[in-house]
Structure 1
Amino acid sequence: MGIWWFSVLIFVGYVMVWIMMPTNTFFLHWLPHIHAETDSIYFGKQGTFILVYTFPILLIATLASLYFHLEQKRSNRHNTKKREGLLGLASWKRPLLVNGPLGIIYMTELSFIIMFVLLLIWSLCSYLLDMFGSVALEAANQRVQVWEAKLECSALALGLVGNICLALLFFPVSRGSSILRFIGLTSEGSIKYHIWLGHIAMALFTAHGLGYIIFWDKTHQISEILKWNKVGISNVAGAVALLAGLIMWAATLPYIRRKAFELFFYTHYLYIVFVVFFVLHVGFSSACIVLPGFYLFMIDRYLRFLQSQQKIRLLSARVLPCEAVELNFSKNLGLCYAPTSIIFINVPSISKLQWHPFTVTSCSNTDSDTLSIVIKSSGTWSHSLYQKLSSSSPISHLDVSIEGPYGPASTFYSRHEMLVLVSGGSGITPFISIIRSLLFKAKSEEGKIPKVLLICAFKKSIDLTMIDLILPVSATAFDISSLQLQIEAYVTREKQPDMNDRKFIQTLWFKSNALDEPVSAVLGQNSWLYLGIIISSSFILFLLLIAILTKYYIYPIDHNSDLIYPYFSRSSLSMLFMCVSIAIVATTAFLWNKKQNKDLEQIKNIYTSNPSASPGSGYQNADKELGNLPLQSLVQTAKVHYGERPDIKKILSGCVASNIGVLVSGPRKMRHEVASICTSCSTDDLHFESISFSW
C-alpha cells in the first residue's frame, strides 16, 4: 500500500512540473537552481532534464511493476481480489456522452479531457503572455515587424504545447505497461486516447511548422528551412519529422483506415522516422521532456519482438459452418490471464507481416493447459485462414506466432447480482471467456454467482453455431447447470431456420513439432518483477554509458557550455545507447526466464503423448451432424427469435436485480444504443461496460 501511495505522490509532483513549466517562476527560478545542483561532468545540462522529466515516470513504472508483483503473490496466497487501479471505481465509469464525435465518453474520461484541454490552453496562454511581453524588443533586434515577431513566438509556443501531447502519445500503445494497469486501463481500451492525442499533436505541430514557414517567407528567410545547425535547433530535421507525421496523419483518415488498412498499418511505422528526427530537431536534452513514454514503449515493443520469434504449438482447430474457426493452442500451466484478454497472432503462410488481435475465449482456470481464440471470416486475412483450415486436403501443421495475452488486471463481473451480455455477430467471443470463468467460480467458490442473460444477435441461423463455442472441445468437464445461464438468440435476416443448411463441425488435430512452444508470458510467471528490473536496470545502464561518454569525450570539448559539441552527434549517440541498454537488459531477462521455465517440457510431453493429437488423426467428428455433437444441449437451451432484433430497452426493464452489469460487444451502433439506454434510465442499478477494439 505504501508503494501505491508513494507512486501517486510522485505522479502529482510530475503533473505540477507540467503545470508550472510555462511560467517565469519555473524558467527563471526553479530550472536555474536545479541546473546549478545537477550539472556535472558526467551528464552535462541534459542531466537536469533527465532528472525532472524522465526519472519520475520511469520510477513510477518500476514501482508499479513491483507493486503488481507483490499483489500477485499476495492474491495467490490468500485468494484476495486485486486492486482495479485509480480509475476502477464503477461510479466513475457511467457513460455521460454517447452520440458525440468521440463516441461513448464516461464521467472519468470527460473529467480528464476537460483537465487536459485546460492544461493545453493554460500552457499556450502562458507561453504567449511571456513571449509577447518582450516582442517589441525582439522585433527590433531581428529587424522585422511586430506582427511577424508575434507570429514566430506563436509558432514556437504551439510547438512547445504540442510536446505535452507527444509526452503522452506512446503510453496508450504500450500493451504490457505497468502504468496503464496502475491507473486501471488496458491497452485495447486506451487506443482511443492514442488516437485523440495523435490528432491534437499533429494539429499543433502542423500549425507550428506552417507558422515558421510563413514567418520565413515574409522575412525573406525561406532558406532557413534547409539549415541543419551544429548546435541548437535543426530546422531540416524538424521538417523531416513533420513530413513523416503528416503522412501518418493522412493515413488515419476513416476511408483509408477502412478500405486500405494495410496502408494505414505500415505507414504508422514512420513513427520511427518521426521520433528520431524530432530528437535531432530539438536535441536530446530537450527531447527528455517527452522521453519517458517512448522509453517504456520501446521496452514493450522489444519484448513483443522477442516473444513473436517463437513458434507456438497449435493443437487443434474447430471449423464451424458459419465460416468461423476456433484455434486451440498449448499453454504453459503457469500462465494466468483474465477474461476478455486478447492476443495478437501471425500466420507466416498467409502473411509474414500482418498481426491481428483476437479475444481469448478460454479461461485460464478451467482450461489449464490450452488457450483458445475464435476467428470469424470477415476479411482477406481471416478468409484465407478459414480456407486453409476447411479445405478438402487438411493440413497437418500450421506455424503460428503470438504476442500476449494482454488483458485487465481483474474482473468486476462477480460483484454484480446479474449480468446482461449483449453481443452482435462475432462480438460474442469476449463473453465466452466470461461465462467459462463464471462456470469455474460457480463450481469452486462459495458465495453468490451472478445470473447471466446472454443476448446474441446474428445475421443468419447458421451463425448460431457460435454459441457452441461457449463450451470447449472437452465439454464433458463442464456442468452448465451450475450457472444460471439464459440465452436469447436473434436471427435478424431469416424468418425461419434454414433446414437445408445443416453442415458439419470439423475438428482438425495438428502434428507436434519439436521446435514449437506453449503459449507463455514473455517474462514468465514473475513477469511484473522482471519488467521492473528491465526498466530500472536498462535506465541505469543507459545513464552509465551517457556518463562515460560525457566525462571522457564531450566534457573535455565543451565543458558543459552546450554550445560547442554538435547536437547531432550527442543525440545520435544518446539514442544508440538507449537502444543498446534496452536490448541488452531485455534480452538477458527474456533468455534467463526461458531457461528457468520448468513447465515447458511438461506441456510438450503431455501433448506429444496424447493419442488424440497423433499426426494421422486428421479430421475428427467430421462425419457427425451438429445435432449429434455433445454441445447439442447448450444450443437447444437457447431461445431463438427469427426475423427480429433484440429490444434491449424492454429486456433491461424486465430484469429484476438491484445490481445489473450490462456488457456490450459488437457493432458501434449497438454499443451506442445500449449505452444510451443505460444512460437514460433513472435508476442506478445498470452498470454499463463496452468491450470494443479500435485497432
Structure 2
Amino acid sequence: MAGILMWVTALAPVRNRLFNLFHGTHQLYIVLFAFYAWHVGKGNMGKCMGGVFLFFIDRFLRMLQSRRRLTGVSARVLPSGIVELKIPIKQGFEYNALSFLYINVPGISRLEWHPFSAASSSLNASSTISVYVKPLGDWTCSLQAAIVENLATRSLGPKLECPFPLKLHAEGPYGQESNYFLRYKNLMLVAGGAGITPFLAILNDLLKRHQLKQQEAPVCVQVIWCVRSISELSTLRDIRPAQICPSFTDGLTLELEVFVTRDDAKNDFTQFNSKKLEFGDTCTDKQDACKGDSCVKTISCLTPITSSQNLLMVAIVLASVAGFILMSGLFNHYVNTSRTSAQGLPMALDVFLFFLSTGVGIVVFGGGVLLLWNPAWNSSRTNLTADDGRMDIKLNMDVEAQPATLMDMCTITKGPRPQFQEIFENAATRYRGEGTGVLVCGPNGLRESVALQCRAQNFKHRRAQFHFHSVSFDL
C-alpha cells in the first residue's frame, strides 16, 4: 500500500500540483523497506541491500547538513520583485557553476524544501553564495512579502526595528559533477525569465577563468534571454566583467541579447533595490545575532566535489559497512545462541536486528568517521567579512574603456519573441565547422523550440554542430 501511494503521488500531474503531498508520502519509504524485509526475510533482503544501504547513508548525511540553521544571511528585493539571498559559506567551500541548493525557511513552512540555482562562482573566493528567488508560488511570495514588510518596518525608525527571523536551512550543493560546458569553444546560453540564474554563475565562472588564464575556457559566449518586463534586467547589475577580469575582451567575446515581450507598468519594489537586510537569530543587528562573536554558521559541503570530499565519502561508506558487519555478527552470535529454539529467531526480531545493525553502522561508525575527519564540521563558522562593503566601494570606481555591468552590454529588443531559426542560422555560419554547446533553461516550450533548431541545423551538411543541454532541476 505504501509503495502504491508513493507511485501515484510521483506521477507528474500530482507531483507538480501537490508537491507537499508528494514529499510527505515519500517519507513512507521507511515503512516500505520494513514491510518488504519482514515479508521476504533477511536473506532475500540482502540481495538489494547494497543500494538501500547507500540510500540510507545519503539520507543520514543530508539530515546532518539540513539540520544546521544558518545565520548571517542577507536579503535584497530587486526592482522586478526577485529576492536575492546571500548565504554564508565557509572558506574552501567548492561548487560547480550549475549547482543548486535546497532551501527551507521554517518560518514559512517546516516541510517545504525548494531548489534554487547558484548565481555565483566558487572561483571568486567569496564568503557567500548567491541565489535568486522569483515569487511565483505561495512559498516564494510569502518569503518576498516577509522581507518587504521588514524593510518597510525598518524604514520607520530604530524603535520599530525587529527583523524577520529568517531561520534558514540549506542542503547541497547538488547538480552536475563537472563543468561540462568548458569542453566547448563556443557557448549559446538561452534563458527564459528566472532561467538566467544558472547562466549568471557560468558567466562569473568564465570571467574568473579568463582572469586566471585557463586555456580550457570558452572564448565566445552568446546569451539570449527572453523576459516579460525590462525590470527583470536588474539581476545583471551585480556582475561587472571588467572588475572580475579587466582584460576579458582580449580573450572572450561576450554578447547579450535580451527580448522584452511585455513591458509591465511601474512596480512597487524599486524603493527596496538599494536596501540589504541582514538576518540573524534575534531582533538585533548582526553583531548581536552572533552573541558577541564575529562569526556565523555556514553551509557544510557534504557532496563529493573535490578529491578530499570523495575520500571522505569512501571512508564513510567503508566504515558504515564494517560497522554493519560487526554489529550483525555480534547480534547473530549473542542473541541467536541465547535462544534454545531449533527454529532460531522469529522473523520480526531477526529483521529488527538487521535494521538495527544498519542504523548503528551508519550513525555510529559512519558518523564517527565524519567527526574524526573534520572535528569542526558540526560547528562550521566563518568570520564575518566586509565583502559587500568592499564590493560597494569597487562598484563606484570607473573602469576605463569597459562597460560597467552586464546590463550595459545588453542589446534590448522590445516586442517580438526571439526568432530562433534566424538566430541559429547566423550562429551556424559564424561557428562553421566547430562544436557549439547550447544550454537552455526555461519553460518547456522554450526548450523544445531550441532543441528543434539544434536538430535542424545538425542535419545540414558542413555546418556547425550544436550540442543541446537542458539545464533543470525538475524531479
Q: Give the TM-score normalised by structure 2.
A: 0.82
Q: Which residue pairs with 1:294 in the alignment?
A: 52
Residues 546-695 of structure 1 correspond to what in structure 2 (within 5 A)?
546-554=328-336, 564-596=344-376, 603-604=382-383, 606-607=384-385, 612=389, 633-655=405-427, 656-657=430-431, 658-681=434-457, 682=459, 683=463, 685-695=465-475
Q: Which residue pairs with 2:153 in the alignment?
A: 393
8 Å Cα contact 1:461/1:498 also seen in 2: no
Q: Distance in 2 between matches of 1:330 and 1:584?
A: 29
8 Å Cα contact 1:314/1:398 also seen in 2: no
Q: Which residue pairs with 2:84 in the alignment?
A: 326
Q: Which residue pairs with 1:541 in the alignment?
A: 323
Q: Which residue pairs with 2:301 in the alignment?
A: 521
Q: Point out the structure with the larger strand share.
A: 2
Q: Please report how far the alpha carbon of residue 634 of structure 1 lies from its aligned counterpart in structure 2 after TM superposition.
A: 2.5
Residues 482-521 of structure 1 correspond to what in structure 2 (within 5 A)?
482=249, 483-494=252-263, 503-504=270-271, 505-510=273-278, 511-512=286-287, 513-514=289-290, 516-521=296-301
Q: Distance in 1 between matches of 2:164 and 2:373?
A: 31
Q: Please report how far the alpha carbon of residue 643 of structure 1 lies from its aligned counterpart in structure 2 after TM superposition.
A: 1.5
Q: Distance in 2 between matches of 1:357 and 1:610?
A: 25
8 Å Cα contact 1:333/1:599 also seen in 2: no
8 Å Cα contact 2:207/2:248 also seen in 1: no
* Residues 1:421 and 2:182 are matched in the alignment: no
Q: Distance in 2 between matches of 1:453 and 1:360?
A: 20
8 Å Cα contact 2:316/2:370 also seen in 1: no
8 Å Cα contact 1:347/1:401 also seen in 2: yes
8 Å Cα contact 1:318/1:508 also seen in 2: yes
Q: Point out the structure with the larger helix share.
A: 1
Q: Which residue pairs with 2:115 in the alignment?
A: 357
Distance 1:310 1:502, change over 3 A: closer
Distance 1:632 1:587, change over 3 A: same
* Residues 1:466 and 2:235 are matched in the alignment: yes
Q: Please report how far the alpha carbon of residue 388 of structure 1 lies from its aligned counterpart in structure 2 after TM superposition.
A: 1.4
After superposition, give the CA deviation of every residue in 1:224-255 in whole Å (9 maximum; x if it has no partner): xxxxxxxxxxxxxxxxxxx1111222223433
After superposition, give the CA deviation of every residue in 1:135-164 in whole Å (9 maximum; x if it has no partner): xxxxxxxxxxxxxxxxxxxxxxxxxxxxxx
Q: Distance in 1 between matches of 2:128 and 2:198?
A: 17
8 Å Cα contact 2:102/2:114 also seen in 1: yes
8 Å Cα contact 1:339/1:407 also seen in 2: no
Distance 1:298 1:469, change over 3 A: farther
**Stretches of structure 2 lacking an aligned partner (at least 5 in a row):** 155-162, 279-285, 397-401
8 Å Cα contact 1:436/1:471 also seen in 2: no
Percent identity between the two aligned chains? 31
8 Å Cα contact 1:316/1:507 also seen in 2: no
Give the CA RMSD over aligned residues: 3.1
Q: Distance in 1 between matches of 2:192 and 2:63?
A: 33
Between 354-363 and 644-653, the greater mean CA deviation after superposition: 644-653
Residues 215-364 of structure 1 correspond to what in structure 2 (within 5 A)?
243-364=1-122
Distance 1:390 1:675, change over 3 A: same
Residues 113-262 of structure 1 correspond to what in structure 2 (within 5 A)?
243-262=1-20
Q: Which residue pairs with 1:406 in the alignment?
A: 174
Distance 1:253 1:674, change over 3 A: same
Q: Please report how far the alpha carbon of residue 592 of structure 1 lies from its aligned counterpart in structure 2 after TM superposition.
A: 3.2
Q: Please report how far the alpha carbon of residue 660 of structure 1 lies from its aligned counterpart in structure 2 after TM superposition.
A: 0.8
8 Å Cα contact 2:97/2:202 also seen in 1: yes
Residues 32-71 of structure 1 correspond to what in structure 2 (within 5 A)?
none
* Residues 1:383 and 2:141 are matched in the alignment: yes
Q: Give the TM-score normalised by structure 1.
A: 0.57
After superposition, give the CA deviation of every residue in 1:236-289 in whole Å (9 maximum; x if it has no partner): xxxxxxx11112222234332232221121111111111111111111210112
8 Å Cα contact 2:239/2:405 also seen in 1: no
8 Å Cα contact 2:299/2:380 also seen in 1: no
Q: Please report how far the alpha carbon of residue 509 of structure 1 lies from its aligned counterpart in structure 2 after TM superposition.
A: 3.6
Q: Distance in 2 between matches of 1:584 and 1:598?
A: 15
Question: Residue type of the partner of 2:55?
Answer: F
Say how many residue pairs are matched: 431
Q: Distance in 2 between matches of 1:664 and 1:523?
A: 25
Q: Which residue pairs with 1:176 in the alignment?
A: none
> Which of these two proteins has the greater Rg computed from alpha carbons?
1
Q: Distance in 2 between matches of 1:449 and 1:553?
A: 63
Q: Please report how far the alpha carbon of residue 397 of structure 1 lies from its aligned counterpart in structure 2 after TM superposition.
A: 5.3
Distance 1:364 1:586, change over 3 A: same
Q: Distance in 2 between matches of 1:279 and 1:397?
A: 44
8 Å Cα contact 2:116/2:131 also seen in 1: yes
Question: Residue type of the partner of 1:637?
Answer: M
Q: Please report how far the alpha carbon of residue 412 of structure 1 lies from its aligned counterpart in structure 2 after TM superposition.
A: 2.5
8 Å Cα contact 2:126/2:387 also seen in 1: no
